[in-house]
């Protein structure tokens, strides 16, 4: 089998050394990139992402968030999940916040303690979140986070609620303004968060060696390859690199080569590295492909018994004494890192005085010089593993070209070019055949393309017999028993992550998904017994949009993050389900029927005001109340999924518009004005309420706006009635300076107005109308995703009942079936003749 691309590329592995001292020439960091978004609006239970690229030369990133949400820190713990708005940060893939009570409690505890992310010290695989505040500024350096692709997640409300349902979601919208600035060092000769560390390069050399499973030492002679066969005592051949290609067979009297290793060695020799106690120097090692290990060794040093040469290592970030991935005393033994991840490994070396750690009065150590080298080991000719014995395959991506999910594809081995039309392949054909150990490993490498970090990797194993395989996965490195990101077997799995799911697995099937898989190289390792079984197992690996196609409880959609560089998928769930993949049942089937009946049947309350209006021959109001009740019933019938006579948007507009008109129409009816004036007011109200229903029907503020419009209409009606009765014309009013003579007339006017109001209304009905209107406003306020059906049903009942009481509160003239208007206020002899002459 030909060597895969990652093995062949290992011979060009880039290794560059960096030596950085704290006394380098400082330089002012320069702006590498900036991003600004003036306003981002999030509806209740809405979310979005923003992709931020941090280059390898970045020194710091400053993020400013300004929102219209200002919640005191001491009140954050009292907020329900549905009202908690948070910002999340994660490297390589869009964050999915954990909504468990334990996680949210820790989140709030960390934020209340430090006012920022709880722990940003290279927690690359963890989601870091903080609550939204009025103004939030976050500054992170390259000592805290790694370079690469980072995603910011904006979440307005958490929990498995009806985040995507058509049901009205009561809550507060959120507006966010974002400003991001990325700074870096002006030249490649400077490094560090403040660009105050200098850089120097280190020379490296490369050679290859062959080994068997029992001897991993090998022998180096300049640039010559040393080949060892399984029978080491029989024959050893030395062949020049120029005339011995990879994979060439040995002479007929020797056995075949078991493993081929490629080594790259970098060194600082001749005791040229000198350190004083307290100094620390940095280097970095770029591992661009899969490697077996790298080893750091120190030599040519003279240390006292109280001194140690300490080495710290950290992937993709500068190591510190109290923050590193690996550490060791290389003055006593080499430091070996097995199966390192792809990326930039930073190395820090310092002299440590163990005596001074115990006794602060101990003398300082003198300058110590030494040399050290590091060696990177990899495999060639299509092998991998600790001994270069395991089979490794690169999977080819085959796009499905689904317009709704642009990144959807499946992966098959390159050897299966003739079978690209099948999304699965026979696993037994590719398994490692080795007899040295009880279990063997077979590795499959695949690339998640750029811009598709919002997809999921779906892996499935189906066998005709009981599965005896274990599946390990790791991003950017080889998985093993000790190092993996996700693990699954027939009996157990790593199910503690929100980014991983193992479902519907049986003794012969294994089905797992990795949500929002990171862009780049993934490796899946299959651990299997060495003996050959007669089973037939098919393996399929695919890149999909939504988990299990939203469990058949919703529709999968794809969107683009705010930067426009990454696609991500999400589910639009049906009325009864919610959650990330619509797997949470929010409403049972019986509950769905109960809610549907309440929401539809509660509109029968419109019969009360409609009947009264018809009885009083107020035909305009009768049509308004009747059509409002019918349109609301049809709208909720469509909303719960029963029957849609028109499109959802049309029905929603009609429901809200006619409901607004019914409320305002009740107020206008209570004003006894001429029909011409009433028609004019109705026309104005038609326009205003239509605009409200068309531009934001579900806004919580609409109920207050509608009541304000109705009250204003009632006030205008009374002013028109009063001005007509008193024969006042606003433009003909004259200023009367004889104020003392007017006081008796004003007093009479006030008492006549009170008498008019007393005779016009039935105050008991008016009181009932105000009480039921208050209950309607309370029902509107209490609506939430979980209790929407009951409180909105109460809204139907109370709002129509309040209209009925308001209509009943008017005293009606039995002659013309209109509200009575012949009161003492309209008599012209109530005022003295002298006052009349003055007016």
In the listed set 344, 379, 414, which residue is the last one of a domain according to the structure?
379
> In terms of domains, do 317 and 397 share one?
no
pLDDT of residue 194: 81
How many CA atoms are closer than 13 Å to the CA of 818, on its beta-carbon side?
10
> In terms of domains, do 388 and 375 share one?
no
Of 389-393, 472-476, 669-673, minimum mean pLDDT range = 669-673
Please write the tens of the pLDDT for every residue from 520-563: 999 999 999 887 668 889 999 999 988 888 888 888 888 999 99
Contact 229, 212 (CB under 8 A): yes
pLDDT of residue 403: 73
Question: What dihedral angle (degrees, nearest 10) is formed by the CA atoms of 625, 628, 634, 636?
Answer: -110
Q: Write the DSSP string, 531-549.
A: SPPS--EEEEEEEESSTHH
Overall domain count for the chain:
4
Share of the chain above pLDDT 90, in %: 19
> In terms of domains, do 404 and 375 share one?
no
> In terms of domains, do 638 and 599 share one?
yes
What's the rounded mean pLDDT across residues 334-345? 88
Is residue 527 in some structural domain? Answer: yes
Is residue 620 in some structural domain? Answer: yes
> In terms of domains, do 191 and 90 share one?
yes
- Top-confidence range, 416-430, 625-639, 696-710: 625-639
Of 8-22, 305-319, 504-518, 623-637, minimum mean pLDDT range = 8-22
Strand-strand pairing, 280-287 and 326-329: unpaired
> In terms of domains, do 325 and 429 share one?
no
Is residue 245 in some structural domain? Answer: no
450/458 Cα distance (integer angstroms)? 18
pLDDT at 724 over 70: no
Is residue 640 in some structural domain? Answer: yes
Please write the tens of the pLDDT for every residue from 48-100: 999 999 988 888 999 999 998 887 777 788 888 878 888 999 888 899 887 77
Q: Write the DSSP string, 503-537.
A: -S--SSEEEEEETTPPSEEEEEEEEEESSPPS--E
Please write the tens of the pLDDT for every residue from 726-761: 544 444 444 444 445 555 566 666 666 667 666 777
pLDDT at 3 over 80: no
Task: Single out the residue of 266, 299, 306, 283 nearest to residue 370, CA to CA.
Answer: 299
Domain, as residue range, for 41: 30-114+123-196
In the listed set 140, 161, 196, which residue is the last one of a domain according to the structure?
196
pLDDT at 435 over 80: no
> Would you say the C-alpha torsion 430, 436, 437, 443 has a positive or negative sign?
negative
CATH of the domain at 143: 2.60.120.680
Grade residue 265 by pLDDT with cuts at 50, 70 and 90: confident
Is residue 834 in some structural domain? Answer: no
In the listed set 156, 180, 196, which residue is the last one of a domain according to the structure?
196
pLDDT of residue 270: 61
pLDDT at 334 over 60: yes
- Top-confidence range, 33-47, 230-244, 374-388: 33-47
What's the rounded mean pLDDT across residues 574-603? 87
Average predicted confidence (pLDDT) for the chain:
76
Is residue 558 in some structural domain? Answer: no
> In terms of domains, do 162 and 50 share one?
yes
143/322 Cα distance (integer angstroms)? 12
pLDDT at 360 over 70: no
pLDDT of residue 539: 93
The SS3 of residue 641 is: coil
- Top-confidence range, 249-253, 388-392, 629-633, 673-677: 629-633
Give, for 130, the enclosing helix (H) or strand (E): strand 128-131
- Top-confidence range, 222-236, 469-483, 692-706: 469-483
pLDDT of residue 347: 87
Residue with tokens 């989140």: 107
Contact 218, 265 (CB under 8 A): no
> In terms of domains, do 58 and 165 share one?
yes
pLDDT of residue 682: 81
Grade residue 359 by pLDDT with cuts at 50, 70 and 90: low
335/777 Cα distance (integer angstroms)? 70
pLDDT of residue 707: 78
What's the rounded mean pLDDT across residues 466-475? 90
Please write the tens of the pLDDT for every residue from 783-821: 776 788 898 899 899 999 998 998 888 876 544 445 554
pLDDT of residue 28: 83
Is residue 203 in some structural domain? Answer: no
Comparing 263 with 413, the larger pLDDT belongs to 413
pLDDT of residue 312: 92
Is residue 745 in some structural domain? Answer: no
pLDDT of residue 228: 29
pLDDT of residue 387: 75
Task: Single out the residue of 154, 97, 33 nearest to residue 561, CA to CA.
Answer: 154
Task: Single out the residue of 301, 277, 276 nearest to residue 357, CA to CA.
Answer: 277
Please write the tens of the pLDDT for every residue from 763-776: 888 899 999 988 98
pLDDT at 831 over 50: no
514/501 Cα distance (integer angstroms)? 7
Question: What dihedral angle (degrees, nearest 10) is formed by the CA atoms of 121, 123, 126, 127?
Answer: 30
Strand-strand pairing, 439-448 and 390-399: parallel
pLDDT at 658 over 60: yes
pLDDT of residue 562: 92
Determine phi and psi for 789, rounding to 5 degrees: -65, -40
> In terms of domains, do 512 and 597 share one?
no
Please write the tens of the pLDDT for every residue from 120-168: 544 445 688 888 888 888 898 887 888 889 999 999 888 765 433 445 5
> In terms of domains, do 292 and 319 share one?
yes
Grade residue 336 by pLDDT with cuts at 50, 70 and 90: very high
Helices 648-669 and 788-808 meet at what angle, rounded to 10?
30
CATH of the domain at 508: 2.60.120.380
Comparing 585 with 385, the larger pLDDT belongs to 585
> In terms of domains, do 623 and 711 share one?
yes
pLDDT of residue 714: 76
> In terms of domains, do 420 and 303 share one?
no
């Amino acid at each position: 089998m030909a060597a895969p691309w990652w093995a062949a590329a290992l011979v060009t592995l880039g290794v560059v050394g960096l030596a950085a001292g704290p006394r380098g020439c400082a330089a002012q960091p320069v702006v590498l990139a900036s991003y600004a978004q003036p306003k981002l609006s999030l509806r209740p239970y809405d979310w979005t992402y923003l992709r931020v690229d941090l280059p390898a030369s970045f020194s710091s990133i400053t993020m400013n968030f300004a929102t219209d949400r200002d919640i005191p820190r001491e009140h954050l713990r009292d907020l329900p999940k549905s009202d908690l708005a948070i910002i999340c940060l994660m490297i390589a893939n869009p964050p999915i916040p954990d909504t468990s009570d334990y996680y949210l409690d820790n989140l709030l505890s960390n934020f209340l303690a430090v006012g920022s992310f709880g722990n940003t010290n290279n927690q690359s695989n963890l989601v870091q979140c903080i609550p939204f505040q009025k103004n939030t500024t976050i500054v992170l350096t390259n000592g805290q986070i790694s370079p690469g692709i980072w995603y910011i997640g904006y979440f307005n409300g958490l929990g498995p609620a009806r985040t995507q349902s058509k049901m009205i979601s009561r809550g507060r919208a959120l507006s966010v303004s974002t400003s991001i600035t990325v700074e870096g060092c002006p030249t490649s000769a400077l490094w560090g968060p403040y660009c105050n560390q200098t850089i120097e390069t280190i020379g490296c050399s490369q050679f290859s060696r062959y080994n068997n499973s029992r001897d991993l030492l090998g022998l180096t002679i300049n640039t010559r390859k040393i080949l060892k066969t399984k029978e080491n005592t029989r024959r050893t051949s030395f062949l020049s690199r120029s005339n011995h290609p990879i994979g060439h067979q040995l002479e007929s009297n020797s056995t075949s080569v078991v493993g081929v290793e490629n080594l790259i060695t970098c060194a600082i020799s001749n005791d040229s590295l000198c350190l004083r106690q307290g100094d620390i120097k940095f280097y970095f090692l770029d591992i661009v492909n899969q490697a077996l290990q790298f080893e750091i060794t120190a030599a040519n040093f003279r240390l006292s018994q109280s001194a140690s040469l300490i080495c710290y290592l950290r992937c993709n970030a500068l190591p510190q004494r109290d923050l590193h991935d690996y550490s060791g005393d290389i003055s006593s033994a080499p430091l070996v890192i097995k199966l390192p991840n792809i990326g930039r490994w930073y190395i820090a070396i310092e002299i440590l005085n163990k005596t001074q750690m115990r006794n602060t009065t101990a003398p300082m150590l003198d300058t110590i010089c030494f040399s050290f080298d590091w060696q990177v080991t990899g495999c060639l000719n299509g092998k991998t593993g600790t001994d270069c014995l395991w089979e490794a395959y690169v999977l080819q991506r085959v796009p499905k070209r689904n317009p709704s999910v642009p990144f959807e594809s499946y992966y098959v081995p390159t050897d299966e070019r003739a079978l690209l039309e099948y999304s699965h392949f026979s696993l037994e054909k590719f398994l490692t055949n080795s007899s040295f150990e009880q279990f063997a490993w077979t590795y499959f490498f695949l690339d998640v393309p750029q811009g598709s970090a919002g997809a999921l990797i779906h892996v499935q194993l189906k066998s005709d017999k009981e599965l005896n395989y274990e599946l390990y996965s790791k991003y950017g490195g080889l998985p093993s028993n000790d190092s993996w990101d996700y693990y699954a077997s027939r009996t157990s799995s790593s199910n503690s992550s929100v980014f991983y799911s193992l479902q519907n697995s049986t003794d012969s099937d294994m089905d797992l998904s990795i949500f929002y898989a990171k862009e780049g190289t993934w490796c899946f390792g299959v651990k299997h017994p060495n003996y050959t079984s007669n089973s037939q197992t098919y393996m399929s690996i695919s890149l999909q949009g939504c988990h299990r196609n939203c469990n058949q409880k919703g529709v999968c959609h794809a969107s683009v993050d705010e930067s426009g560089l990454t696609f991500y998928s999400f589910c639009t769930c049906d009325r009864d389900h919610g959650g990330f993949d619509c797997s949470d049942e929010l409403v049972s089937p019986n509950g769905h029927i109960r809610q549907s009946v309440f929401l539809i049947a509660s509109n029968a309350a419109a019969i009360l005001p409609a009947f009264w209006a018809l009885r009083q021959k107020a035909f305009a109001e009768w049509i308004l109340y009747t059509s409002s009740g019918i349109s609301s019933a049809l709208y909720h019938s469509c909303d719960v999924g029963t029957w849609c006579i028109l499109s959802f948007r049309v029905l929603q507009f009609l429901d809200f518009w006619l409901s607004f008109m019914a409320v305002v129409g009740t107020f206008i009816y209570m004003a006894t004005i001429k029909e011409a004036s009433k028609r004019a007011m109705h026309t104005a109200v038609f326009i205003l309420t239509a605009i409200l229903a068309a531009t934001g029907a579900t806004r919580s503020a609409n109920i207050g706006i509608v009541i304000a419009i109705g009250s204003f209409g009632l006030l205008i009606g009374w002013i028109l009635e009063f001005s007509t009765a008193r024969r006042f014309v606003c433009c003909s009013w004259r200023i009367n300076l004889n104020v003392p003579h007017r006081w008796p007339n004003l007093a009479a006017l006030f008492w006549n107005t009170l008498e008019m109001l007393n005779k016009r209304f039935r105050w008991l009905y008016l009181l009932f109308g105000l009480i039921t209107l208050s209950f309607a406003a309370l029902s509107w306020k209490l609506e939430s995703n979980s209790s929407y059906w009951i409180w909105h049903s109460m809204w139907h009942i109370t709002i129509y009942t309040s209209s009925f009481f308001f209509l009943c509160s008017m005293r009606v003239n039995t002659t013309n079936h209109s509200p009575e208007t012949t009161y003492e206020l309209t008599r012209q002899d109530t005022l003295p003749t002298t006052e009349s002459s003055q007016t």
